[in-house]
Structure 1
Amino acid sequence: MPRPMTQLTLSGEERERLEKEFRETGDVRTRTRLGALRMLCGGTHTLAQVAEAVGCARSTLQVWVAAYRRGGLEQAVLREKPGASSSPMQDAGLQQQLRENFAAGAFRTCEQMRRWLRATHGIVLHLKAGYYWLKSFGAKLRVPRPVHIKKDPQAPAAFVAGLEDTLAALPLRPGRPVRVWVEDEARFGLHTLVRRCWALPGVRVVLAHQRKYQWAYMFSALEIGTGRHVPLWMPGVDLGITTTFLEHLAASEPGAEHIILWDGAGFHPRPELHPLPAHIHLIRLPPYSPELNPVEKLWDIVKDGISNTIFPTLDLLYEHGLVPELEPFKNPNRVLQLLGNSSMIASVNASSIR
């Protein structure tokens, strides 16, 4: 047997007042209760139908109806618990303080924000509410890039600002084309590199991996103007091996002057201490500033491609891992896309040597 329809009987004046408050109220919760009462006035819906329409439980709707019958509209919309608008987190000044602290890096976890609110403003914020406010500020959970404690924060910007002058001061032979390279090297070995992978819901990913301590090094140089890529797979790193790579790079275009931007690794030769191949000019990047070198992005792409795979030997790692991953970078357009247009790349392209 179906449930009987529920009807509220309101006087003409009370009905007009209900309609007026329903139209004018700006509070969502109050409007929900008034909307439910409006539907019940028609006598064409059951309590269950009205409850489903306004998004509440049938028992909650019964409480609202009983409240109306006890004290009219005032009693029906009265809430014993304050709404969200009464939260101290709604204060615009407090929200601005939180945004400024986030911008300054004062909060790295939700718990740090909650402790600050409790200690500074006496606000006890539930963890779930903390996540809500983090999202409302536009905050995103990110993995920080490690930065060496000795890094000078002003050094990268100062290097880029003076790069055009540094390039102009190099003893380049007139009449020869100039190639500007960014160079780096990375170690690749037989120890399986584990990274995140896709899986269906409910499937636990299990990966076989090996611990084999054999490795070699991939040297890689990207030319900023033409998008050329010169890689070289070497058994290790030292001054002699690095010099061999510089000779290999110079031989890729013997008629050009080659300028190389790279870091200050101990196995990188220094012009004032070590002999260099002809037509090679070196510029050291600031210490602990890998973000200036676009080749770092290349290594991340390669490692992502060879991850979660077992290579029994270094030859197989090179032939079936590194070579396929580096193949797209034979295309100059792909290299130029990887290089991007950072301030350092823009300074090189704008310099008088080009």
Structure 2
Amino acid sequence: MGMRNPEVTDKERQQLKDYKNTAPHKLVVKKAEALLLLSAGVDPVIVADFVDREPSTLEDWVRDWCTQRMASLFTGHAGNLNRSFLTAEQKEAVEQVLSQPPGDEYLPAQFWDVPKLDRWLSTTFNVEYASPTSYQFLLRMAGLSFHKPEKFDRRRADDKLIDQRIKEIREELAVPLADEDTLVSAADEVRIDQEAVVRRAWYEKNTKTVLQVDRQKASQSFIGFLDQNTGQCLTLRLDWQNSATILEAVQTLVGLYPGKKIVIVWDNATWHKNQLLRAELGLGQSLRDVHLINFPPYAPDHNPIEHVWNDAKNAISNVQRDDFESTVTAFEAHTRSRSFDYKI
């Protein structure tokens, strides 16, 4: 086979690797893989077998590469990505722009979508694509992914103020964390519901399946205390999330660690700051050795125990158990049976 190896610059090699890993279409991936292997001197017969194409097809790909370079990856693609509309300089400009927030006229930082990219390309380069797939590929090329944003409370403070408060909390925890007679825990409540247990199931294509479930609504609340030294999580059931149940849970924590000082870092829920709880913090009371620290308001993403709850929910979500109590037990077992390396 008289095919010559394609010449690939270092920059092109990195771009090909990016396409191989992130391109949403198989043809683009196969072309990128083939060009990388051929440029490295791998036997064309082996490459053809690897990408499941005829050797003659590889000859066409190399020939197209020599004339069109990166644009050749998209030639003949059914979705017609039309990447050749953009010059190399324009493509670099697109990647740079997509790596930044869209700007004040769009959504707050980090959010891009197809209409915004369409508008920007049209006004900047007079380039328009017929298929949304083309815009989606550009977004992926820039390292963006399509996923559900985290919830953002409008009452949340400015991130700089939140970061400053977290810094202050870490400084305040430095001495307690180094004291073996002090327990430092990040705490929070969570609730699981019966109807949120099953999200997806695997079954035969083009068929339907029915799960026999108990439609009676059920839920269970928990409070968790994540030890910031050991990573162990103490999970306690709550009849409800209110002042009385939270006070009882903290008293249970104190009883499990007699003689220890206890520091709890949690959010600003009303039952974390109520008079019933604070009355027990006084000298001679049940929580006299407990010190409470509050996270910044409306910033749950800084509480490490939120990751524990997500881990546990993911672990139980797609397993259909016989009854809700079994689900509750599985949730408890997941949180109690391992250590979690989530820190404030």
Equivalent residues of 1:232, 1:245 under 8 A apart = yes
Q: Distance in 1 between matches of 2:174 and 2:276?
A: 19
Whether 1:302 and 2:312 are equivalent positions in the alignment is yes
Choose which of 145, 151, 155 in structure 2 pairs with 1:140.
Answer: 145
The Cα of 1:265 is off from its aligned counterpart by 0.8
Greater radius of gyration (CA): 1
Tell me the amino acid that sits aligned with residue 286 of structure 1: P
Distance 1:339 1:197, change over 3 A: farther
Equivalent residues of 2:166, 2:295 under 8 A apart = no
Quote the residue 1:161 is aligned against: 167
Choose which of 278, 286, 299 in structure 1 pairs with 2:288.
Answer: 278
Q: CA deviation digits over 1:225-255, x for unaligned, max 9?
A: 1233222112101111111011001111111
Whether 1:245 and 2:253 are equivalent positions in the alignment is no
Whether 1:317 and 2:297 are equivalent positions in the alignment is no
State the SS of the aligned residue for 1:304: helix
Quote the residue 1:339 is aligned against: 341
Q: Distance in 2 between matches of 1:303 and 1:182?
A: 18
Q: Distance in 2 between matches of 1:226 and 1:145?
A: 28
Tell me the amino acid that sits aligned with residue 137 of structure 1: A
Q: Distance in 2 between matches of 1:195 and 1:224?
A: 32
Quote the residue 1:181 is aligned against: 185
Whether 1:228 and 2:232 are equivalent positions in the alignment is yes
TM-align CA RMSD? 3.9
Distance 1:218 1:261, change over 3 A: same
Equivalent residues of 2:188, 2:225 under 8 A apart = yes
Q: TM-score, normalised to structure 1's length?
A: 0.62
Tell me the amino acid that sits aligned with residue 178 of structure 1: T
Distance 1:154 1:211, change over 3 A: farther
| Counterpart mapping for 1:202-213 below 5 A | 202-204=206-208, 206-209=210-213, 211-213=215-217
Q: Distance in 1 between matches of 2:300 and 2:119?
A: 34
Q: TM-score, normalised to structure 2's length?
A: 0.64
Q: CA deviation digits over 1:195-245, x for unaligned, max 9?
A: 234445444454455554443311111111123322211210111111101
Equivalent residues of 2:118, 2:135 under 8 A apart = yes
Q: Distance in 2 between matches of 1:291 and 1:275?
A: 29
Q: Distance in 2 between matches of 1:266 and 1:330?
A: 27
State the SS of the aligned residue for 1:218: strand
State the SS of the aligned residue for 1:162: helix
Choose which of 117, 125, 138 in structure 2 pairs with 1:113.
Answer: 117
Q: Which runs of 4+ in 1 moved over 6 A?
A: 22-26, 82-86, 309-312
Choose which of 89, 96, 99 in structure 1 pairs with 2:96.
Answer: 99
Q: Distance in 1 between matches of 2:208 and 2:228?
A: 44
Quote the residue 1:289 is aligned against: 299
Distance 1:265 1:311, change over 3 A: farther
The Cα of 1:162 is off from its aligned counterpart by 1.1
The Cα of 1:330 is off from its aligned counterpart by 3.3
Aligned pairs, how many?
Answer: 265
The Cα of 1:93 is off from its aligned counterpart by 4.5
State the SS of the aligned residue for 1:103: coil
Equivalent residues of 2:198, 2:317 under 8 A apart = yes
Q: CA deviation digits over 1:86-135, x for unaligned, max 9?
A: 93422424533443334315653223212221133211123232233233
The percent of aligned pairs where both chains have the same amino acid is: 20
Distance 1:304 1:167, change over 3 A: closer
The Cα of 1:271 is off from its aligned counterpart by 7.8
Q: Distance in 1 between matches of 2:92 and 2:313?
A: 41
Q: Distance in 2 between matches of 1:261 and 1:25?
A: 58
Q: Distance in 1 between matches of 2:102 and 2:209?
A: 35
Quote the residue 2:63 is aligned against: none
Quote the residue 2:130 is aligned against: 126
The Cα of 1:323 is off from its aligned counterpart by 2.0
The Cα of 1:185 is off from its aligned counterpart by 0.9
Tell me the amino acid that sits aligned with residue 148 of structure 1: D
Quote the residue 2:262 is aligned against: 258
State the SS of the aligned residue for 1:230: strand
Query: Can you give the 5+ residue segments of structure 2 that lack an aligned partner in the other structure?
Result: 9-53, 61-66, 76-81, 104-110, 281-286
Equivalent residues of 1:222, 1:228 under 8 A apart = yes
Tell me the amino acid that sits aligned with residue 324 of structure 2: L
Tell me the amino acid that sits aligned with residue 143 of structure 2: G
Equivalent residues of 1:192, 1:310 under 8 A apart = no
Query: Can you give the 5+ residue segments of structure 1 that lack an aligned partner in the other structure?
Result: 1-18, 27-51, 61-77, 345-354
Equivalent residues of 1:182, 1:223 under 8 A apart = yes
Distance 1:266 1:246, change over 3 A: same
State the SS of the aligned residue for 2:117: helix
